[in-house]
A and B are shown apart, each in its own frame.
Chain A
Amino acid sequence: MRIAAALFGAAAIAACAAASDPVPVAEAPAAAPAAAPADPRPLGQQLYGRHCLSCHQADGGGVPNMQPAIKGGTWVQGDARALSLFVMTGGFDSASRKDSDVGNVMPPFRQLPDAELAQILTFIRAKFGNGASPVSEAQVAEARTSLP
């Protein structure tokens, strides 16, 4: 009964979400991954989806008390070098966001190559920064020389 009780929630949701599927999800064989079609979205948007979206959300609005909004703010559309450095170092506060009181720390993204960071920054500046200038791979590489 203990197992049954523990399974109530998962079972109800899993089974009802797929009402036409008679196979209990817990016993279903793992589906073979289908070959993914080519993603038509720009690379910067794809990378945003992979690394940034779960915290900052699809509309750049962030989550109250959790992660800050990156749309409409000043620093996303501000100095590209400062922005590049902040994304590589992570932390709570960018140079121009000392008042941030959100809960979750931003992890560093220095492990990403310059070209990918440039794509991400260019995407967020265009989408959430009122059309701020693109960021080049060379700009990210130059900023990286200042990392400790």
Chain B
Amino acid sequence: MSAPLLEVRNLVKQYPATTAVDGVSFSVPEGICFGLLGPNGAGKTTTVEIMEGILPPTAGEVRYRGEPLGSRFREDAGILFQKTALQDFLTVRQCIALFRGLYTHGLEVDEVIRICALEKLATRDARKLSGGQQQRLLLAIALVNDPAVLFLDEPTTGLDPQARRNFWQLVESIKAQRKTIILTTHYMEEAELLCDCVAIMDRGRIVAQGPPRQLLREHFAEVLLELPRAEFPEAARALPLQLFETSDRVEITTHDLEGTLRALLAAQVPLTNLRVRPPNLEDLFLELTGKELRP
């Protein structure tokens, strides 16, 4: 594995009423997409904002290429915040040009417009873009300095499925250029698709870290069975199975698929709508961060 591009060491961020980040450490090698996952309030945005150099930590440090964050990092980092407002009354091209002017090195404005497929929107008032178009513009701004490291903080939150998939394609094309990407998200499908390595945060701490497939192997030796809740008879709830019920389905986690199926048939559970699937990152996420509703 190559030397880390970013190192986070014992990061702590305390506010008067809470500890948002509580001793977080990890490193990000160059050229990978690193996912920081966690439920709302887990501390991932605070961690990322400290990594971006816009929020000071209470303790700990972040190093970029072995040095504390400084002017070199600011020139090299591209950032897409969860929420960003731009200057009013500027066109898409002018917004990009404004940010291009803030960096010593970078891509031509037209090049960034092409990468993010904004050609037809270049002269449009930036305030009049749809959600997906707005995110593409913000990504263009994040790419304008041809960054070595790109921070994407929940970039597809609020987008419709089509816009989300378009955005993922863009990120994959950026990944293909061997750029380092730090992605925070609570869409597990997104993390599974884009991330080479993930860290799952909960209550300000990292509870698991590694490549998604490795984490799944480490945490799950089982398969998951899903049945419609309406078709699951009351008597079957007494079976010695590991059950989890949602509003519309019943999930059964098991090491012994055949034995479980036999038990369900014996309890006269209809299996017509049975779904058997391997566990995914979302299952791991729920396993590690808990399935109960947080206050």
- Are A and B interaction partners? no
Interface set of B (CB-CB < 8 Å, partner A): none
